[in-house]
Structures are given as C-alpha cells and as structure tokens.
Structure 1
Amino acid sequence: MKGYVLAVSVGPVQEFIAAARKTRDLWFGSQMLSDISLAVAQSLADMGAQLIFPPNVADQKASVANKIVAIIPSDPGSAAEKAKEAAKDKLKSFWDEAERIITQRGAGSLVNKVEVSEQIDGFLEFYAAWWPMENEEGYKTALEQAELLLAGRKALRDFQQCTVTVGRPKSSLDGGRQTVLEEKHEEQRFRLGIKPNEQLDSISLIKRVVEPKRFVSVARVAVDPVIRRLEAEAQEELTALLQLADELDGRECPAVRRFSGLDQYRAFPYDTTLFFEGATADSEVESWLERDEGNRQAVEQFQKALAKACRKVNVGEVPAYIAVIHADGDRMGRAIRSLESPGDHRNLSSALVNFAEAANGIVSHNHGALVYSGGDDVLAFLPLDTALVCAEQLAKEFNNCVRTVFKNSQESVPTLSVGLSIAHYGEHLSEMVEWSRQAERDAKRYRNSLAVALHTRSAGPEAVTVVHTWDEDPVWRFQRWVDLHRLEALPDRAPFELRELHRELKRYVESQGDARAASVDLGELIRQEVKRILKRKRAERGVTGLSERLIQFIVDEISADPSRALDALDTVVNEMLIARRLARVEDVVGTPKPNMDDILSEFSKRKGTANANR
C-alpha cells in the first residue's frame, strides 16, 4: 500500500466550545465543531482516502473529534486544500441557516452582515501535514512524522490583520471579536433570545439562533432530584406544576422554556429557575412581569404549587448545585504509538467511537446531559446524586471498549481520568466548565483517577478537592461519608473542626522545619487529637455520642501510615465536606438510608483487606 499519511487538525476549539453563556451555546458549539470535522473526513473519503480517525463517516452517531487521520493515495496537498474548503463550506452553511432564521423572525436589521462575513471568512483554523509511506510496514513511521510536522505547523499560527471598528463593542462571549449586532433593536433582540445588553460575535450568534433542538439548562439538571421524587411520590402535584409551567411558557416567560429530545427529562421538560429563590429578581423577568398582571399571578401560582409539592414529599431546600464531568483518556499517545498497522489504529478508532456512543447512554441513564463525547473526551452535566456513579461507569466502559484492541500488550491499555466539579447553578457557565477541566487535570497527574472539586459560592474559585485512583474505589470512599451524614451519625460540624486541626498542624510543621517537626511523633499526635475531637461530638442532633467503633475506624484510616497522617487527615476532611453536600441531595431523592451496622461492617471488611495487602 503506497501513499501518504495525512493528519488534519480543525479549530479553534476554545472559541467553538468554551465561549458560551448558556448550555445550549456550549452544546451547539461542540456540535458545530464535530460537524465541521465530519465534513473534512467525508471530503477525504470522497477522494478515495482510507480513514483511520474516525474509522468511517457512515452512521456516525457520536461526535467526531477535531483530529482527522487518513491515508491518501496521492497528491496530499490537493486533498488537504479540498478538505479545508469542505470545512469552510460547512461553517458557511451554519451561517446560511442562521441568516434564514433571523430574516424569518423579522430581525434582519439587527445584524451587521458585512462584519459577519469578515468573521466567518477568517474564523476557522485548519492545519494539515503529511508524510509518504512506501508500504504498510512504513505506516507507523509515516504517522509519527506527520504528527511531528502537524505539531510544528500548529505552533506557527497564522496571525491575520486586525480589523477593528472604533467604538464598536466586543462580543460578550468572545472578547477577541467585535459584536455583529447593531444598537437600538430591543424588540428584534427579544425575537432571537438575546438579552438587551448582550453582544454576540458571528459564531456566538449562530449558536444562539440555529436551533436543531433546545438543550437543557443547568438549573433543570440541578432540580432533577426533586422532579424524580415528585414523579415517584406526588404525581398529582407534579402534574399541577407541569400545567403551570406550560402556561408560563405560553406567556413567553423568560424563566420558563420547554425543550424536547432529552428523554431522561420527560417527567418535566421545562427549563426554569422558578424553583429557586430570587429567580424573579432577574432584570429580564422583572420586565416581563411588569407587562401584564396575569404574568405575575401565573408566577405566584407556580411558586405556591411548588411549595405545596415540596411539603408533600418533605423536601425543605431544592438542590441548587450540579456536577460537571470532564473525562479524558490517559497516555493515548503512547497507546497509539504501541500499535503498528493501519488496521490496528482503525480498531482503536472504532473502539473509541463505541465508547463515545456508550457514554451518551451512560450519562442519560444517570439523568445527565451530554454536551460532547468524541474519541476519549467527554463533557457532561449531572445531578449530584448520580454524578459519582456516572463517572465510575464511564471509566469502566472506556476500559472495556479499548482493552480488546491491546490483547498482546496490556501495559499499553489507556485508562480514563475524570474530573468532577460541583458548583452552584448560578455560577458563570464558562467558569463551571473550566473548573471541571481543572479537576480533570488534577486527576491526570495520577492517571486512571477521579478528582472531585467542590466550589461553594462563598469560597469563590477556591475548591475542596480530593483525588483518588480508580483502584482506591473513590465512589465507595465518598458514599460511606454520605451514608453517615444521612444517618446523622456524623455531625455537620465534625469535618470543619478536623479541618481546623489540619490547618494548625500544617502551620506548625511549616514553621518548625523538617528537622524539628520530625522530632515530634506527628502521627500519634494526629491520632490523639482526632479521637479527642470526635469524642466531644454529638450525633443524631445532639442526642447521642459518636459510636466508639466509628471513631476508631476514622482514627485508624487517618493514622494508618504515620508518615502520611497529615495528608490523610486532609483527604478525609475534604471527603467529608464533599459528602455533606451530596448527602443533602440523596435525602431529596429519597434514596433508602443504609443500616449503621452494614456501614461499619463494610468499614471492617475493607480495613481487613487493606491490611492483608500491605
């Protein structure tokens, strides 16, 4: 087989995906990039290329990654140029559809089409590199050389001449580009779902306007545990909420929008912030309320019906926090290099496609919303009660999908690291996504790991973070504290007092230096102090003291390795703090509470296993 290995990279990823204020912007941006990458792959296939990544373009249900690899029979330069034109044509088709919708809604004069055209023409980043191969045995070397050339080409970025109109505002979502919206067209903005002071560049406008389907909001994901509880125990109250939400949607309430196409949310297919206090303080909602007294009455009826429903199922506070999962394969470069032939790489490519398709089902089954799943990369929103289990299932499915490709070299089998950030639904969407990426980076420092980062509103960008490898069974480690919180066997204040102990001891160690700190039996000191703090705590709302057996298990875990007792204390404290947030949501869902004896027996069983493995 004689030809060329061609490697193509399509971007810019950040502007396509990360520049988003709404989940729909985020989802559709990733969909645009996937469709453009698919158009590149289709163009190469039409020219007789043998596709490697992706393995094919037929029946492509999963997202296509922005990296395409193919074997071209001849003239790779011409093939790359035609693929580039296919990418540009696909991007232009998105604008053509957006322009049709804008005109249809009577908002044509809102958009500066000259500015749009200039931005569309210069937006895409398309890089290609190739290397000749004389036969199939030369494929591996050709791929490595093409990859090196591609990396070098991407480092030599094209810098276009900056065209700026003085006094024209920047885009609210992409500060590197100017707005394409004209001023003083508030009514037309409303028709397109654009806020009065919001400014959008051409790509952000396409995301907002072109609607193959409406994507679920973070607010709806956060309240899903309440919806499931109502569906199970208060169907009549849920039906009343559905009817009122439908009325509000018909009145074009900015805080309520119906969506479709996501079967996991069929019990209440509405995005709404009216489940939360302060929702009517939004300026857009306030303006809508002032238009018609009937609007205000409809909102009040919804809030009364919600309060009644929550009382029925004994839910005091509606969950306002959600989880954002970002997963990525470990050592994928090494895995790819360990394979020799185009057939092996196509098998790996097919395995990654299978995982991407399975990821959608896993996320949906856990009542989440998948933003993107392409190759070894996953981004999704999950309610708190299912997020940890979903992360674990993704890691197991990834391993199952790729393991068969590496039958002769199990050491090269890639693993999946998952970052899971927990944040309030009201945080800026770009920050929530970035926090999940930071958690994923924390996990990848150890590889084959799960990193959970809790961002509370009061702490700002600071996070309570815990990282464990999958071999350490992190889901169980969190679940044990969740169960203890729910049984009120672990007082809410306990982790805060233990955290203060950790801070004091850490300051002491840092102030004394290694030599003097080593003269103190820090492990024994921590052991005694933890025991003292826990013995003073009262469980079951102050009725009883903590179980002696539970205290001993906690103390033993922290001091199992005296040389790492300070780090172990920090880990246990952070696990407890994160579990405290998760426990509240499990109570909302109504998950059956475990038996205290079962929890302690599991503690004992795992402790015995750990001792046997030492």
Structure 2
Amino acid sequence: MAEKYHLSFSIGPVQAFVTQARRTRDLWVGSVLLSWLAESALVAVENEFEEKFEQGTATTILPDRSGIRGKLTSIESGFGGIPNRFEIEFESANDAARSGTVAQQGFQNAWQTACDAVWMMIGEAEQSGNATENIWKRQTESFWELSWIVASPSGRSKTIGDMAAARKLIRNVPVTEEGGVKCSLMHEWQELSGYERRDDQTAFWNAVRRCSGVGTLDLRDGERLCAMALIKRLLPAVDTQVFGRSFQQKNWPSTAFLAAMPWLHEVQQNPTARAAADAYVAAARKAGVCQSEVEAAKDAEMPWARIDAPAWFTTSIHNNEWLMEQSDTGMLIKQLDDLYRVTAGRKPIPFYALLLMDGDSMGSLLHAIKDPTALSQCLSRFTSGVNQAVKEHGGRTVYAGGDDVLALLPATETLAIADRLSHEYQRSFVGVLEDTSEVQATISAAIVYAHWKQPLRQVLQHAHRLLDDVAKNATGRDAVAIGIVKGSGLNAQWAVPWKTLRELKMIRGDESIIHRFQESPSGDAEKKPVFNASFLCHLRDQFARLIGRLPEQPGSFGLMHDNFQANEKRQDILLALANSEYRRRLSSEDRTQSLDETREFVRPLVELTRHVIRGEQPDTRKVGFDGWRVARFLKQVDDGEMQDHE
C-alpha cells in the first residue's frame, strides 16, 4: 500500500480571539470570522489541488467536506462551524508540503480582506491618532499563529493530531507584550489611539464614532480597542465587502434579553399582559429607553419587545441606567409592577445560561474507529443538528463544529438541551462504533447560569474551567459541570456523570426531583412539607455534626469523621438524619406514611451530596451541598420566582 502524507494545519490563538468579548455580538462575530478564516485556508488548498482531489490522490480528512469541497459555505449557517485545525491527506509528499504554504496564504489573504474593510471604514480617524496606522499593522500582522506539519501516519506511534499539538509548542516568534495603554477587551494589546493622555484618547475614539457606518451602540463611552477587537466589533457593518453577502442578523440578543425571553413569551400569550407591555414600552421609549433589541425581538417573533432588555427588570429602572427624570423612573417602576401582577406575580428571571460541550478522548475514539474520515462524518452528523435544538428553545448557537458546541440560552431549558445533545452525540456514532467496544463516544459539558450583568468574559472563563478541570479531569468525562455565577462570583459548582444526573431525575419534567425544592408548597404547608431553604439549612446543620467543618468553597466537600468507616453506615446515617428532619415537619395526619416511604422521598437529598466520579464508587466520606443549591436554583428558574439583588 502506497504511503500517504497528511497536512495538519492549525490556527491560534482561538480563546484569545473569540472569548475576549464584552457583548454577545462580539462573541458571535469572533466565532464566525475565525470559522471563515479557517475555511478560507482550507478552500485555498482544495482549489489549488482541485485536480488531485478529483483524481482521489488528495482527500480532506477533517472536517467533513462532502458536497462542499472548494466552496466557502461557513458564513451561510450564521454561526461558527469550521474547526481551527484541518487535516488533508495526499499521496505526494511534495504536494502535502506545498499545501501548507497555500493554506497559510489563503488564511492571510482572507484576514487582510477583513482588516482592509474595517480600516477603510475608520481610516479618516487615523489623523486624530498617534501612529495609529503603525499600531494597526503591527497588531494585524503579528496576532495569528499559524502552524502545520506534514507527516505520514503509517507506522507512527503518535497520531497526526499528537504531532500537530507538539508543533504548536514551537513558536516562530518570541512572545512580546505591547506597551502603551491597553485594550479594554484584549488586555495584552495596545489600544489604537497611541496616546497616553486620557483626553487625547477620548478625542481619537470620538473621531472613530463619527466615521460613516459606525453605529451608536458599536462603541460605548470609555472603550478603547486594539485592532483585533475593533475588527470584531465593526465587521457586521462591512460584511458584504468581506464575505460577499450580508449577515442575516447583525445584532445578537443581549444577555438580558436571553434571560427575560421565557417571561416575555408568557407575556405574549396573555392578551391582558400584552396590552400592559405595549403601554410600558411606549412609556419607556418616551422616558428615553433605547430600542437596542429590534432584531432580537423580531427574530424571537416578539417585535413589540424591542426596548433595551434591562428595562424589563425593576432593578435597572431603580438604578436609572438611562439617566431619566426621577418622575419617569417612578412611573415606569409602577407600570412594570402592574405588568408583573398581570402575569400572576411572575417576573423575568435575571439569569441566562452558557453551554459549552466538547467530545471526550478523541484520540482513543479515532483509534477505535480506525478511519479518520468516518470519524469526521460522525462529528458532522452531530453538529448538523445542534443549531435546530438550540433554536427550538430560544437560544443562539455561537459555534457547532467538530466535537465542540458553544451556545447561549434562556436558563429554563439549558440542562434538557445539553442532555439531548449528549444523546445525539452518541447516536451519531451508531453503526460506526460497536456496542461492545471498550471506547464509546461520549461528550462532556459545562453549563454556567449567570446573572445577565456578569461580564461575558468571566462567564466564558468559568465555562472553560468547569469543562476542562471539573467535568473532564475531576469527574472522569461523560459528565456535566454546572456553575451558578452571581454578583459575588461563583455561587455553586456541582458536577456528576450524565448517568448519575439522569438517575437523579434532575432534568426538567413532571417527575423531576427539582419540584421538591420549592420555597413554599401549594396548599397547606403543614401537610405538604418541601425541601425549602429552612429545611435544607437545618439538615445541613445536622450533617455538619458528622463532618466537623462545612465545605467553604463552591465545589468543595467536607469529610465525615473517621469513626464512620463503612460506606453503608455513612449513607445510612445521612439518610436517617434526612428522614428524621423531614418527618419532624410532617403533620400528625401525614405521619402515617411509613418510614420506608419518607426515606425514599428524601433519598435524593443524600445522593445530591455525594462526590461521584465516572467509573468509580462514590467516596461516601465526602459530603457537599452544591447539588442542593443547583436543584433549588433550577426550581426557582422553573417557577419564575427569583429575587434580583444585583
């Protein structure tokens, strides 16, 4: 069999480019642009060696390019979908070697197109800067790290992916930190004005704001951006020049709109509430509230909800973020309270969710399948259905390509969507992996429920840490890690294997155990006790006697005293304490329930305190309470009853 040669081409830095975002649109544009740049590099090779591909002496291994070879199609999806690494197989070593240079040139040509379009837009402000053009060129020409290797996979102990990862550790240029005042988003890079004095910086950025095509919402007061951040921010205004077509949607929903969306849908279904909402919108516009959610509201089929989404939250009106007259503030608060009453006292939940997913052990998976093309096709089947699942529940896909997913969603359905996608990932490999194979296709996830005011960059940082360090490394993969981020930072961190999550019935539904975590029961409180804050606080105090010191940090566990040696004894004691505390709250009438009945009812409370690692027996010495916090939070989200204290 003739030896084959593989080109593995990688683009970086991904996180530094995509995740340094203030607005949801920054995140989305960064993802779309990076995908387009990667596809431009790939298409350059496919077109340069078109005859070889036609003859079958060249084949794209990763990503799956069935039916679209030589075409730029990524921009059509509306989200990022091309991985930052691609692999192509050649029969000729010379062709493989030359293809790396072709790919690099294709990438650089595409990047230069984007740079030139944005520079033409803001170029007239250059005279207000201090060597701004020099800063622009230095940054745009040195930011990207392109690396590739050519190797033959036959007889190698390492995969091409392993060797490509090793190649990326060899830097072509030294890392240097720029001088001057730093960018508001990408803190390692100098902002473009080139000035040290604040007044001079302000004059430059005001000149940028006056440039044709720069919208009133594109640059907020005080923002000073580097070249890369400004390209992401202004790219939607020059999309036709860069991509040859216009984005279908140039403004993404804000985190506040994503948080409010489930409640806004309830308002839409209630004619009385809709009338009250229309009156509120009119009053808010008159008082000076802007209409920044026009496209997002239209896309959600709620065009009436076009005002700044923070205006749906009483705290924002109290804080007077629009510098309104005091009389207008009082009037809007009254109208908003009236609107809340019309919706049965339900208010918009001030939390949205960020979902990050990544396939597990791809090297082992490839070794089991033995066919990289088949692996690529399986991944393509999976990602092709991601956006539909996310859109069905009002979310937005930022990236879905290879074995990775990044999406922003309303908080209500995120856990169910993540569970659905984990099943879909496994189904994508049916017929390719044997059921008896030691290696199975699994995917891990991180879900961060964040207050809409939390900086997006911090939320993304929490998500990546939860996925890599907690779901994968600490929980053994095929797992989900959940974090709740409030104004004070990370409030809760809980991780379990998917199998455990499903056994606990944490997914939203009629049989979900989260329904037991309500603040006050419907009906007679004495007859229907629930796992409310008071009950959980007392039970935690009871458990604390057995572990000495309560765990202080989110995601941490306390250790039971050494005199409780047997696993069964530890669990029996915890279960007995939970059952005793629960039965103490039962009415005399309901105490006729047997001990076994109430024990099974409270058993999930003990299960939620366990430290579970995939493939291992739970360490029953460890007791943690983040599972309770997450369950209570999910119930509050489900009920639409959560105080906004931010």
Structure with greater helix share of residues: 1
2:55 corresponds in structure 1 to none
Cα distance in structure 1, aligned partners of 2:392 and 2:431: 25
TM superposition score normalised by structure 2 = 0.77
CA contact (8 A) 1:328 1:416 kept: yes
Give the residue type in structure 1 aligned to 2:60: L
CA contact (8 A) 2:122 2:208 kept: no
What does residue range 460-475 of structure 1 map to in structure 2 within 5 Å?
A: 460-470=489-499, 472-473=501-502
Asked if 1:238 corresponds to 2:274, the answer is yes
Once superposed, what is the RMSD of the aligned Cα atoms?
3.8
CA contact (8 A) 1:248 1:299 kept: no
Cα distance in structure 2, aligned partners of 1:374 and 1:144: 24
Change (3 A) 1:145 1:557: closer
Number of aligned residue pairs: 565
Change (3 A) 1:513 1:85: same
Cα distance in structure 2, aligned partners of 1:21 and 1:416: 28
What does residue range 385-400 of structure 1 map to in structure 2 within 5 Å?
A: 385-400=412-427
Unaligned runs of 5+ in 1: 133-138, 590-614
Cα distance in structure 2, aligned partners of 1:562 and 1:326: 24
2:36 corresponds in structure 1 to 35
Give the residue type in structure 2 aligned to 1:272: A
User: 3-state SS of the aligned residue for 2:497?
Assistant: strand
Asked if 1:443 corresponds to 2:439, the answer is no
**2:357 aligned to 327, 348, 371, which one?**
327
2:531 corresponds in structure 1 to 490
Cα distance in structure 2, aligned partners of 1:530 and 1:34: 52
**2:229 aligned to 185, 204, 225, which one?**
204
User: 1:378 offset after TM fit, Å?
Assistant: 0.7
Give the residue type in structure 2 aligned to 1:331: S
User: 3-state SS of the aligned residue for 1:463?
Assistant: strand
Cα distance in structure 2, aligned partners of 1:146 and 1:562: 40
Cα distance in structure 1, aligned partners of 2:558 and 2:360: 38
Change (3 A) 1:393 1:256: same
CA contact (8 A) 1:419 1:440 kept: yes
Cα distance in structure 1, aligned partners of 2:604 and 2:202: 64
Cα distance in structure 1, aligned partners of 2:457 and 2:139: 22
User: 3-state SS of the aligned residue for 2:89?
Assistant: strand
CA deviation profile, 1:288-309 (whole Å, cap 9, x unmatched): x4xxx6xx88777665543332
What does residue range 334-349 of structure 1 map to in structure 2 within 5 Å?
A: 334-340=364-370, 344-349=371-376
Cα distance in structure 1, aligned partners of 2:440 and 2:559: 45
Identity score, percent: 20
1:603 corresponds in structure 2 to none
User: 3-state SS of the aligned residue for 1:10?
Assistant: strand
Cα distance in structure 2, aligned partners of 1:122 and 1:284: 39
User: 3-state SS of the aligned residue for 1:127?
Assistant: strand
Cα distance in structure 1, aligned partners of 2:283 and 2:597: 52
User: 3-state SS of the aligned residue for 2:86?
Assistant: strand
Change (3 A) 1:476 1:555: closer
Change (3 A) 1:483 1:494: same
User: 3-state SS of the aligned residue for 1:402?
Assistant: coil
**1:363 aligned to 385, 390, 395, which one?**
390
**1:90 aligned to 106, 110, 114, which one?**
110
User: 3-state SS of the aligned residue for 1:584?
Assistant: helix
Change (3 A) 1:543 1:264: farther
Asked if 1:553 corresponds to 2:600, the answer is yes
CA contact (8 A) 1:482 1:580 kept: yes
Unaligned runs of 5+ in 2: 50-57, 195-200, 237-246, 522-529, 551-556, 612-616, 642-646
TM superposition score normalised by structure 1 = 0.81
Cα distance in structure 2, aligned partners of 1:543 and 1:202: 71
CA deviation profile, 1:336-358 (whole Å, cap 9, x unmatched): 12333xxx322321221222221
Cα distance in structure 1, aligned partners of 2:497 and 2:429: 22
Cα distance in structure 1, aligned partners of 2:558 and 2:259: 43
User: 3-state SS of the aligned residue for 2:385?
Assistant: helix
CA contact (8 A) 1:245 1:256 kept: no
Change (3 A) 1:438 1:146: closer
What does residue range 47-58 of structure 1 map to in structure 2 within 5 Å?
A: 47-48=48-49, 49-56=58-65, 57=69, 58=71
CA deviation profile, 1:538-557 (whole Å, cap 9, x unmatched): 79xx9988976763214545
CA contact (8 A) 1:23 1:217 kept: yes
Cα distance in structure 2, aligned partners of 1:357 and 1:250: 44
CA deviation profile, 1:39-95 (whole Å, cap 9, x unmatched): 111111112242111122444446101110001343333221121121122222222
User: 1:517 offset after TM fit, Å?
Assistant: 4.3
1:184 corresponds in structure 2 to 202
User: 3-state SS of the aligned residue for 1:419?
Assistant: strand
Give the residue type in structure 1 aligned to 2:535: A
**2:82 aligned to 64, 71, 74, which one?**
64
1:308 corresponds in structure 2 to 338
CA contact (8 A) 2:349 2:637 kept: yes
Cα distance in structure 1, aligned partners of 2:32 and 2:10: 16
Asked if 1:258 corresponds to 2:267, the answer is no
1:412 corresponds in structure 2 to 439
1:169 corresponds in structure 2 to 181
User: 1:470 offset after TM fit, Å?
Assistant: 2.9
